[in-house]
Structure 1
Amino acid sequence: MAVNIQYLKGVGPKRASRLRKLNINTVEDLMYFIPRDYDDRSKFKTLRECMIGEKVSLEVEIIGKANILRPRRNLSIIKIPVKDSSHNAYLVWFNQEYLKDKFIVGEKIIVNGKINKVGMEIQIMSPVFEKSGTMNKVGRITPIYSLTEGLTNNEIMKIIDYSIKEYINQIREFLPQEIIDKYDLMDIKDAIINVHFPMNSVLLEKARKRLSFQELLTLQMGLFIIKNRNFTNNKGIRFNKTVEINDFIQKLPFELTNSQIKVFKEIEADMENDIQMNRLVQGDVGSGKTIIAVLAMFKAISSGYQAVMMAPTEILASQHFESIKKFFLGYNIRTELLVGSIPPKAKEEILLDLKEGRIDVLIGTHAVIQENVEFNRLGLAITDEQHRFGVKQRAILSHKGNNPDVIVMTATPIPRTLALILYGDLDVSIIDELPPGRKEIETYAVGPEMIERINNFIRKQILESRQAYIVCPLIEESETLTVNAAEELYKDFKDNIFKEFKVGLLHGKMKPKEKDLVMEEFKNHKIDILVSTTVIEVGVNVPNSNIMVIYNAERFGLAQLHQLRGRVGRGEHQSYCILINESNNQISRERMRVLQNSTDGFKISEKDLELRGPGEFFGTRQHGLPELKVANLFTDMDILKVAQKEAINIVNQDPNLELEKYRELKKKIQEMFSNLGEYSTFN
């Protein structure tokens, strides 16, 4: 139902452009524009039953004329006396004198407002009101929508109300009746009506359950189908069981943790199987994922195959190249680096040697998936920091060989159930243990009044030859957000506060080569203080850097703050993370406490999900996945598990959804994934 929103009655070009800012382009988008919250005005009380500060609905009678007070210039207070069967009170509004003639003495109205008490006088503050018996604004559950400039909640309510009346019969049911019956789901039309304008909380809950279930089922099935088409049950390589991997492990300069051993055994079992491996290795910052990649590479090379690793930036690729090359010294294994900045002649030689099998391990950026890159016998493909790459890039990389095994690594801790959604096309392994001997990073959450003390502390550490990261949420000053912009702070640090030190700037608008140059200078201690946006979240290892200061920490997710904190604590010196929280909000303070008290990325990510809800935490866009509009991955965990189970049942029964009963569901999945280029394999 692709009716352009502009042509809906009451919209027009101007309002349509505002609605588009909320990603509402069609009437169907509008119907699926789910309220972010609800104001329950359905429960009525008497004045005697009300608590001070409570927001309530009441039926009252007007018992006198309006009284207008003007305590100061530009302020007028209108008071209208009312009563119910239990008490007298006043309806009170500020600067709304036009209301004085709206009421007739003796008339009964229904109101919803906050109860206040001044002396002995009960007041109902700025109430919404209407005549008794109408119950359009009061006496029901009212939806509260996300807004944009120039659009009010009432306007959106009216537009949605009209669209439902005119077009609800064009919404098609796409779940098979047997699934609706099996899980006692509400009909799709009733669900849309009741998610916007529920008659009671029971119907609202049933509507949300239906819409969450269909959204999670559709997402999960799309991912399972992609997995089946691109990776699962592809005849893979059966690597040698006899490879002397234990000797290699014994000669490592450190002992593997139990968690690393467990994850490598899972990988080894996959590699010795003739089905193509497609595995996610999840591990917290510093948990030792790289060595797992090295062990898998060693097994592949010892079996006569080549291995490739793709990293998101040149500097990260170079860092992997340097560390991995050292592990293979003395084993006659040739490792090469392929990045954009390599001179053409050297690149030509690498490509020829790769094609003719003289290179065993290739490490690089997106450069490794370009068309002219050919392998002689690719057996293992690894991508690092998965959230920077999509399914399409993984598929291209795996097609460089004849179904090579695929490992995907990420340092973003995600609870296992969520990993099944986010990486529904992958098997999941988790390294949930840090190597022994790592010093814990001391974490402090402070207010902006401590900035001078923080600067003195940074100065002291730099004079002892340490380095510091300073992170800001925005690149340049915004008119709407009063947050410290990286460029402003950089200028202030360089010209005033830290003018005796070398200060650098790093942000997302810089060209990749510029970014790499700045990080290289920071790594080589040509920069003492690096002012940055979150581009350093995934970055190079700088053991000498031991201070991480994050401005406006309340604007970041907990999982992201934990990632940023992981940039320090990599060397022998005690490291510190200072979170400058400019919000007095209780949730914000609680979030900062979570970080102060825990270094477990998985626990932190679960708490983040609980406190912030799925929208911000899930960050589906950065993973290249469709955005969830209804489902809350924390509160809807039970629905998620049921949807996952049903998705597996359906895909096992009908992998390509060719049965008639799944035809509409298949269309919905195609629709959900249609805007994502990297999912173009799904059709």
Structure 2
Amino acid sequence: MKNSVSKTENTIQNNGLLLPVTVIKGVGPSKAAALASIGIDTLQDLLNFFPRRYLDRNLTDNVLLKTGETVTLIVEVIDAYLAHGKKSRLVVGTKTRNNERISIVFFRGVNFFQKIFQPGTTLVATGKLEYFRGFQLIHPDYEILTSAIKTTHPISSTGSKKKKQEQEPEEELSELPEMIHAGRIIPLYPSSEVLKSEGLDSRGFRKILYSALEKLKGKIPEILPNEIVKRRGLILREESYREIHFPTDENSLDTAKYRLKYEELFYFNLLIEHKKKEREKIKRVFWPLPESETANKVRKNLPFQLTEDQNSALQKIKELTNKEQPIAVLLQGDVGSGKTLVALLTALRYIDNQIQVCMVAPTEILARQHYQTILSFLGNMPFLGIELLVGKEPKKNRYEKLYRIKKGDTLFVIGTHSVFQEDVYFSELGLVIIDEQHKFGVDQRETLRSKGKNPDILAMTATPIPRTLCLTLYGDLDLLTIKSKPKGRMPIQTKWFQEDRREGIYKSIRKYVSSGRQCYIVYPLVEESEKVDLKSCIEAYEYLKHEIFPDFEVGLVHGKMEVEEKDRVMREFSKNRIQILVSTTVIEVGIDVPNSTVMVIEHADRFGISQLHQLRGRVGRGDQESFCILMTDSKVTEDAKVRLEAMVNFSDGFALSEIDLQLRGPGELMGVRQSGLPDFKIADLRKDSNLIELTREDATLFGNPGDLEKEEIRGRFSEGRLLFSN
């Protein structure tokens, strides 16, 4: 037993945070299993289980007692008796320090409370002050300060004593040197039925957290460099844990939160710095890259000038490709800003030097759109080394394509998820272009990168990402942004209408289509559902085609259609053989039909800001005036109202992304499964943008962490968190 104790003490001295939670008094196997179910195995895990909110339970001035208010009072028990009536209840008579009489009433757990509330017992009680024949508190929160129990005989309703019964629950008699449940700011913790069944409600968590902090007193190591602690005026780590769980006052709580947020973000940014330096150790196979004659010809033949942002992005990529290290760039641009052209001009520098390029898109429609767009940019130039590799195609065709790719005859591969398959081999893969990269998992991105010898990476997204998210998700990449649109494009007018305007909207569609323009009408569902009362795209297609626009060609496209049929419809629409296209969000990204000038989004309140903005981006791609109509019922939720008003008032995707971040939070905004957002315990990407910038600056200044810190932060933020692992 002695050896066991000394071993535990040694562990505390070395790193007590790694001790199992079972070292805490009262945490046995059953309670430990409940804690493990929410990821709490060690004292470190427990300390990082932060309160969800706090209640001010500081003592109330006895002179200012008012009914209806929540009060916290120190009282002494005078007597206790059972009162009978419609509902039996225990009435505990108490007095405050000013001798104000207050009754504490319990309707439940009467036998239990009879045992512990005996004359002379002092407690802190918190509850709503009511008045019925005097002040009273009904079922208040409480904490016993001094117990007057000298025997195990409870007080009866008449004051007589009963024979000895079972012992009182130990945990209700406070042995703590300070109040933790009342008389102060108290923390409230997330819980569940499983946790509560083990006594792990907020009260239970306060007990074990207090015990953990007492056990670790003076033994929690400081992991931030001393220079940073002094420079940024941070409190020590141990103090921050104590104040976050048991704050002295609001200022102390704010100081503790700031320190712990700083620590979390600093170490995350150190990991990013480490990953950057790891990448810098890798040497590029293909460098430097000479200029591309083909790229120069394409630029010369363009019927428009590149925007300033496009030129800036191309120049930055050129500078990066002239270095020894492989490039990893995230190119983000608003819808219609010309990212595909930047990607093509970049790719041609590799292709002209007989280096293969692979461009991957999340959907077949988008891959085919890129293929057609790139062919149109290349025009009549003799360029035979480009292939489209998608899922469904004849085996012979696929085999021949794979052979040409493996041999190196095909220099530019544009495809979907099919390029990840094991039978796809490249001869000299030098550049990987990933469009809408957040729609691919980390493993998929790594698989594609592994098909070459440390190829360069150009990731693209048409979904504007708030700066704080960019720094967090893609801090290990070089970030390039295209905001400006090609000259000559007119801003899209966005209107929010309800059902009473539908007839007028159909008249407007007829007017624009009659003048030679085209229109999208988007629905959230493919088919009718019994679960939600929404119009489906198939149902609407039949109605619009036969009842509203019988004199126009109305087309239908949705995700459940065969690929060949989808392609046929999109080709017909791009040639203006179909004037009105009814669809689901399958057209959300990459569809480029400049003649389309009207977008109607049905049940627009069912879409997020990002999706609405992407859909809106399908129009306004030419030099004609364009419109986006958001249709809803007369009643929408408050959140939906904010989204719709934002769409009407803002056309800038980056401004909208900041609003979306505030509304939905980073997890929903990016899609938790694919994005790999770090599992921050306390930092908030919506509120801590300044701290993200500050810790990024400090992490860059202080360089790589030491071995211990590196392992710790790797444990907190796994390798799969960033875009590409090393």
Global fold match (TM > 0.5): yes
Query: Residue 206 of structure 1 aligns to which amino acid in structure 2?
Result: T
* 8 A Cα contact 1:620 1:627, kept in partner: no
* TM-score in terms of structure 1 length: 0.75
Deviation at 1:304, TM superposition (A): 4.1
Partner of 1:308: 358
Deviation at 1:337, TM superposition (A): 0.9
Mapping of residues 232-381 of structure 1, within 5 Å: 234-235=283-284, 236-241=286-291, 243=293, 245-334=295-384, 335-381=386-432
Partner of 2:265: 216
- Quick one: structure 1 residues 109 and 12, their matched pair in 2 at CA, closer, same or farther if it must change by over 3 Å? closer
C-alpha distance in structure 1 between counterparts of 2:584 and 2:651, whole Å? 24
C-alpha distance in structure 2 between counterparts of 1:164 and 1:175, whole Å? 20
Query: Residue 279 of structure 1 aligns to which amino acid in structure 2?
Result: V
- Quick one: structure 1 residues 580 and 125, their matched pair in 2 at CA, closer, same or farther if it must change by over 3 Å? farther
> Aligned to 1:33, which of 45, 49, 53?
49
Which secondary structure does the structure 2 equivalent of 1:574 belong to? strand
C-alpha distance in structure 2 between counterparts of 1:285 and 1:368, whole Å? 25
* 8 A Cα contact 2:72 2:183, kept in partner: yes
Mapping of residues 196-215 of structure 1, within 5 Å: 196-215=245-264
Residue segments in structure 2 that go unaligned for 5+ positions in a row: 1-16, 147-177, 546-554
Which secondary structure does the structure 2 equivalent of 1:575 belong to? strand
Deviation at 1:328, TM superposition (A): 1.2
* 8 A Cα contact 1:392 1:679, kept in partner: no
C-alpha distance in structure 2 between counterparts of 1:198 and 1:154, whole Å? 15
Mapping of residues 519-530 of structure 1, within 5 Å: 523=570, 529-530=582-583
Query: Residue 313 of structure 1 aligns to which amino acid in structure 2?
Result: T
Partner of 2:489: 437
Which secondary structure does the structure 1 equivalent of 2:264 belong to? helix
* 8 A Cα contact 1:393 1:678, kept in partner: no
* TM-score in terms of structure 2 length: 0.71
Query: Residue 343 of structure 2 aligns to which amino acid in structure 1?
Result: A
C-alpha distance in structure 1 between counterparts of 2:106 and 2:641, whole Å? 33
C-alpha distance in structure 1 between counterparts of 2:557 and 2:21, whole Å? 43
* 8 A Cα contact 2:524 2:584, kept in partner: yes
Query: Between the two proteins, what is the percent identity of the paired residues?
Result: 33
> Aligned to 2:543, which of 490, 500, 505?
500
* 8 A Cα contact 1:674 1:680, kept in partner: no
C-alpha distance in structure 2 between counterparts of 1:13 and 1:233, whole Å? 48
C-alpha distance in structure 1 between counterparts of 2:645 and 2:375, whole Å? 41
C-alpha distance in structure 2 between counterparts of 1:539 and 1:221, whole Å? 36
Partner of 1:597: 649
Partner of 1:424: 475
- Quick one: structure 1 residues 349 and 495, their matched pair in 2 at CA, closer, same or farther if it must change by over 3 Å? closer
Partner of 2:4: none
C-alpha distance in structure 1 between counterparts of 2:492 and 2:131, whole Å? 51
Aligned length: 643
C-alpha distance in structure 1 between counterparts of 2:206 and 2:238, whole Å? 17
Deviation at 1:215, TM superposition (A): 1.6
Q: Establish whether residue 638 from structure 1 lines up as the match of residue 690 from structure 2.
A: yes
C-alpha distance in structure 1 between counterparts of 2:435 and 2:24, whole Å? 47
- Quick one: structure 1 residues 642 and 36, their matched pair in 2 at CA, closer, same or farther if it must change by over 3 Å? same
- Using the TM superposition, name which of 325-334 and 102-111 deviates more: 102-111
C-alpha distance in structure 1 between counterparts of 2:590 and 2:290, whole Å? 35
Query: Residue 596 of structure 1 aligns to which amino acid in structure 2?
Result: V
* 8 A Cα contact 1:311 1:366, kept in partner: yes
* 8 A Cα contact 2:436 2:460, kept in partner: yes
Deviation at 1:233, TM superposition (A): 6.2
CA deviation vs aligned residue, 1:230-262 (integer Å, no higher than 9, x gap): 356634522224747454224223333222222
- Quick one: structure 1 residues 636 and 496, their matched pair in 2 at CA, closer, same or farther if it must change by over 3 Å? closer
Alignment RMSD (CA, Å): 5.2
Deviation at 1:293, TM superposition (A): 0.8
* 8 A Cα contact 2:537 2:583, kept in partner: no
Query: Residue 56 of structure 2 aligns to which amino acid in structure 1?
Result: D
* 8 A Cα contact 2:102 2:137, kept in partner: yes
C-alpha distance in structure 2 between counterparts of 1:456 and 1:61, whole Å? 74
Deviation at 1:318, TM superposition (A): 1.9
> Aligned to 2:438, which of 382, 387, 400?
387
Q: Establish whether residue 142 from structure 1 lines up as the match of residue 195 from structure 2.
A: no
C-alpha distance in structure 2 between counterparts of 1:79 and 1:460, whole Å? 74
* 8 A Cα contact 2:604 2:630, kept in partner: no
* 8 A Cα contact 1:462 1:528, kept in partner: no
C-alpha distance in structure 2 between counterparts of 1:29 and 1:181, whole Å? 27
- Quick one: structure 1 residues 286 and 398, their matched pair in 2 at CA, closer, same or farther if it must change by over 3 Å? same
* 8 A Cα contact 2:80 2:90, kept in partner: no
- Quick one: structure 1 residues 590 and 552, their matched pair in 2 at CA, closer, same or farther if it must change by over 3 Å? closer
Partner of 2:601: 548
* 8 A Cα contact 2:389 2:415, kept in partner: yes
Partner of 2:679: 627
C-alpha distance in structure 2 between counterparts of 1:613 and 1:57, whole Å? 35
Mapping of residues 395-410 of structure 1, within 5 Å: 395-410=446-461
